[in-house]
Structure 1
Amino acid sequence: MVTDFIELGFAMESGREIPQFSRFEGPVQVITRGPVPAQALADLDRLLARLRGEAGIEINRAAPAATLVNASFNASDVPQNLIAVEFLPRRQMQAVVPNAACFVVPNVSNWSDFVANRRSSAIDWTRVVSRTQAAVFVPSDTTPQEIRDCLHEEIGQALGPLNDLFRLADSVFNDDNFQTTLTGFDMLLLRVWYAPELRSGMSKAEVQARLPTLFNRLNPSGRRPSNVDPGPTPRVWQQAVEQALASDGGLVERRAGATRALSLARAQGWRDNRLALSLMLNARLAPRDQGEAALDALLAAAELYRRAPGGEVHAAHIDMHLAVQALATGQAEMVLDLTARALPAAERSENAAFIASLGFLRAEALSLIGRTNEAERLRVDSFPAARYGFGTEAAARARMDEIARIGTAAQRLARL
């Protein structure tokens, strides 16, 4: 964890080095701005309670009178140690930052300040010595789950690490997006970040010298020898993965990125989360005539993930993918086994869309074997999670119908 802490704390996602350690010194106040979705406040309060209880950070949401809507602070009015969470339409956000789902910026407290300073060194994280203000920008017109996920990752970054590491399976500070809420690993990282032995302005060497004692004190059960150096992650591999994951990329380009990522991972000799992700991307993007090779890649990825701390969430997603294939071929018992194995990890990661999809898959499998009453009850029980995860009744029903069509096709195939 010392290695992880240093890499997360002293570099940006772009690879730029951060020359000094920074954090908020003293209690932190959180305010909300803009059209705040009702569910977001409940999720924010739950997050702040976890940060207080698990990370030991003195952080609270400001009283309602201090929460401003469609107003702008004068610089002299902005409290110190402030995180401002501003909700605004996705279109408005992406007109300025096209590829960002949500993001955090230092030294501003609202959207207009950010826009006015977006090319200024004032919002350069590498120049921050002590954190006093940060603004988190979240789309107001997306699903409750995506808003919740943004709150966790961006407030986590406002408080602590500014980097993401693809090799970390058990962390939201990882661009593969499998972990949706701050994990136990993340909370321990933040507890160390705010330990009294550290202070803003320390150099990398000063922080690194204190970390072994800190981790021994705060996580004694994690003390064990390690002769495995994960090694650096070349930027070229990250770029290949980003190309494979790009939602706006064409299928040919995405496949090329996945193929290049796997080739680079094997050349590096990796046997961790990075190889597993490369295998999974190749499997998911494989042409239809390469189904057997894709299945082998998925199974290999799942085995790697099951050996990694926190990797059970990734393995559960692979189980869901396999369950879809099993449903398509009418293998109801296999669907039930795979989804039963995946559900605990889905529930621990609080991924409502994932939980609902597993429920819908199980319902179709139950229908295939004639347990129709159970199937219908499960569909009804899965709907609250589906609405939270997919955003609306219509979107939730569309996901249920999509899975139902797979089950219907399997029933037709069985009758032939």
Structure 2
Amino acid sequence: MKLGFSDMEEAFRRECASWLDEQMAGEFADIRGIANLVDKPERRKAWERRLAEHRYSCIGWPIAWGGRDATLNEQVIFAEEYARAGAPNRLNHMGVELLGPTLLALGSSEQKARFLPAIAEGTAIWCQGYSEPGAGSDLAAIRTRARRDGDEWVIEGQKIWTSLAQFADMIFVLARTEDGTRGREGLSFLLVDLDQPGIEIRPIRQINGEAEFNEVFFDGARCPVENMVGAEGEGWTVSTTLLSFERGISTLGQQMQFRNELDAVIAAAKHNGKAADPVFRQRLAEAEIGLRLMRYGALRMLAGGKGGALAGAALTYKIQWASWRRALGELAMDVLGQEGEVAPADAEGWPLLANLYLYSRADTIYGGTNQIQRNLIAERGLGLPREPRGNA
């Protein structure tokens, strides 16, 4: 297993870094370092298109579909340099990192031809319709239904915690298409146009004042039959394949964002003298050690993985980073002290660290709570018996 990079790969790193720095210091300087997902959506859409123009939008995709057919190491390098340059969080993460690879793996030739080019070009923004009010971490308990009506599926139900739905053009929806089924049976995976009657999007205001998440209501919304990925009733297989990509290359870019946040905490501790306190030095050292362990673990997972399959070790990653970042948010507030509560918004370093603390409270909840993650590790990773579940 190789954790280092070759001379050619380091040359690719310099190429990526140079281009990204040029963009972030030039035309797109106004969106550099944005710490949230909702500010300046039109500028971020323009950034998606700029990435596409230079084939940086989805570099791991085949050349025929707008990518660069980049190697695993090259994808890791670009993800790291993207975060290092302060480029904004991707507005089309769901399309590029999740749906695109899923269609490449499981989509029909017609679905690939219809949907992949627009994702690669940055002209179609996607969101994910999985969680529901009564089925957050328990994905198999969803109640949204789709019934066949001629050449279309008619969708009724509600999704929640739908990231960036207010900016999206399309949504992939997991819905129950077979009456009388429950759990993983009878689910299908549908690609749905958001710009149609029968769909209402309501933003959810978060503790940090932003509205990244949304409720999405389906009241007779329609989806062409040919927009079903996989066969009817195979939605669970498609959805879990998609989720496996969520633990992929983007984890390394995520860790570079963590690096930036930890550096901001360290800078604040040096500025106000907390870095001289042995207790804070120990906590900062523990945060540094945790971040390095995540990097080595992610590289090991990626080097040993095949296709979209999740190795047992990959099941531990979400609970690892979520717990680490929640602790980092608490450390940030302890370092700032009262200043973190009362400082004006233009105080140096305050907005980033305050937002880190508030947002990190959700890290151990969304995408599967820590409790659910422990069940996944036990049942899928260790092969232990399933936890007893009710019949609802």
TM-score (norm 1): 0.24
Q: Which structure shows the bigger proportion of residues in strand conformation?
A: 2
Q: TM-score, normalised on structure 2?
A: 0.25
Larger fraction in helix: 1
